[in-house]
Amino acid sequence: MASRRPDSFDGYGFRSDQYGAGYPPRSSGPASGISGELQQHQWVTSPPDIPGSRNLHPGERTPLYEEAEPGSRWEAPHAAGVPPEQLNRFAGFGIGLVSLFTENVLAHPCIVFRRQCQVNYHGRCYHLTPFSAVSVMYAITKAQGLKALWKGMGSTFIVHGIALGAEGVISEFTPLPRELPHSWSWKQLAGHLLLKGLTAVVALPFYCASLIETVQSEIVRDESSSGLLDCVREGLTRLLGVGAPHSRRLLPLSYLLLPVAAHAILRYAVAASVQRAVLWLHQRGGKRRPVPSDPLDAYFPELAAAWAGSLAADVLLFPLETALHRLSLQGTRTIIDATDGAEAAGSGGSPLVLPVNTQYDGLADCLHAIRKKEGAAGFYRGFGALLAQYSLHGALLAAARTLLRVVLLDAKAC
């Protein structure tokens, strides 16, 4: 059968109105009486134009590359990649996890050494700067191993859990609000602060037990009898007054209730006030700048404000914390590591330990004795460890922000 395609057909520019007029339509068999529209239909060899294909006539362009008509909201498809919502969630979760891990894990050696300095009333070096604190921390770690400054971390988590659980239970069975509404009253604020104080009072026995585990020297620690729940057992023992008898110098918990509640309320009030002030300054300055496209700008200011609030509260209440730690540890027969530079490693390579023997009658007597015997600087023993702790926290937050920004930029570029 001879081909009916014209010799000049090239597959691109052929149209039926140019060459198909001399060719009759295909016969449809017996249905020759079909409507005239079918009879007038011309034979077309080129398929309909497909956007982006080569089936175009001379001078025509694919609609894919044509400019969109006014009113049409056609946009070019985005490159395949991670959705922006997932990137934002990843950024917020990542930087929040770094902050939580640094605050509770990486900074724990600084907390241990700070508490040891606070209760070491006969130490010659007060460690007011981070440089002296870090050098002695290194000497203790070199002499006793890494576990010397990571002790008591499990009990610290237990105390946090007890505090959170107590706060939830008290807020459920009392009208004390756990969170302040946007438009709060003075009555709600007083109830909220009272809840913070009651939570600290409930967790006080377990905090005292955790404090002992934190400052107790590894040299005198009995690994065979120590366990993760020792904090709970020792806390209940001190609360109920049972178990092995302590020294007569041990203060009853009733002497510590009011100071501990006042410390918790003041710390929360100062931290929350500074955090709100920092966020307000950031938002006020943000109104003058264009809307940020970086998703980290929605999470980092809150973490930075919380960091500033905690730092301000710990600095202002450092003297009160020193007195509370000494009162909580009094009469517990605790032996701590030496915190004076050369003595930390001991003579002949053997580390030195020191007993804690204080005889305070209460908070007022403790504050008076510290000022009289140690001077005003005695309230700030171990202050350098606090500065090292927050310096490490802030540096890791900044590093995490920079790293996550690079990761987000690479993800958006894909």
pLDDT of residue 14: 47
At residue 99 the predicted structure's pLDDT band, cuts being 50, 70 and 90, is confident
Quote the mean pLDDT of the chain. Answer: 78
- Report the percent of the chain where pLDDT is more than 90: 40
Question: Has residue 174 got a pLDDT over 70?
Answer: yes
Residue 258, helix vs strand vs coil: helix
Instruction: Spell out the CATH class of 96-241+262-287+308-413.
Output: mainly alpha
Question: Has residue 86 got a pLDDT over 50?
Answer: yes
pTM (two decimals): 0.74
pLDDT of residue 283: 83
Per-residue tokens: 234: 């020792």
pLDDT of residue 87: 63
pLDDT of residue 393: 92
Q: Using alpha carbons only, give the angle 169, 208, 173 rounded to the nearest 5 degrees.
A: 10
pLDDT of residue 2: 55
pLDDT of residue 310: 95
Ranges of each domain in the chain: 96-241+262-287+308-413
DSSP 46: S
Least confident of 37-46, 87-96, 245-254, 319-328: 37-46
Question: Has residue 94 got a pLDDT over 60?
Answer: yes
DSSP string for residues in 198-240: HHHHHTHHHHHHHHHHHHS-TTS--TTT--TTHHHHHHHHHHH
pLDDT of residue 243: 66
pLDDT of residue 297: 67
Question: Has residue 68 got a pLDDT over 50?
Answer: no
pLDDT of residue 366: 95
How many H-runs (helices) and E-runs (strands) does the chain carry? 15, 2
Residue 65, helix vs strand vs coil: coil
User: Scanning the structure block, which residue is given the tokens 């870090």?
Assistant: 134
pLDDT of residue 303: 86
pLDDT of residue 293: 52
Please tell me the total number of residues recorded for the chain in this structure: 414
CA distance readout (Å), 198 to 194, 321, 381: 6, 18, 28
Helices 254-286, 300-316: inter-axial angle, 10-degree rounding: 140
Beta carbons of 335 and 212 less than 8 angstroms apart: no
Q: Report the pLDDT averaged over residues 176-191.
A: 90
276-287 pLDDT, tens digit each: 999 999 888 766
Q: Report the pLDDT averaged over residues 201-208.
A: 95
Q: Minimal CA–CA distance to 98: which of 305, 396, 304? A: 396
Residue 55 contacts by C-beta under 8 Å, 6 or more apart in sequence? 12, 46, 47, 48, 49
Q: What are phi and psi of 260, to 5 degrees?
A: -70, -40
pLDDT of residue 146: 82
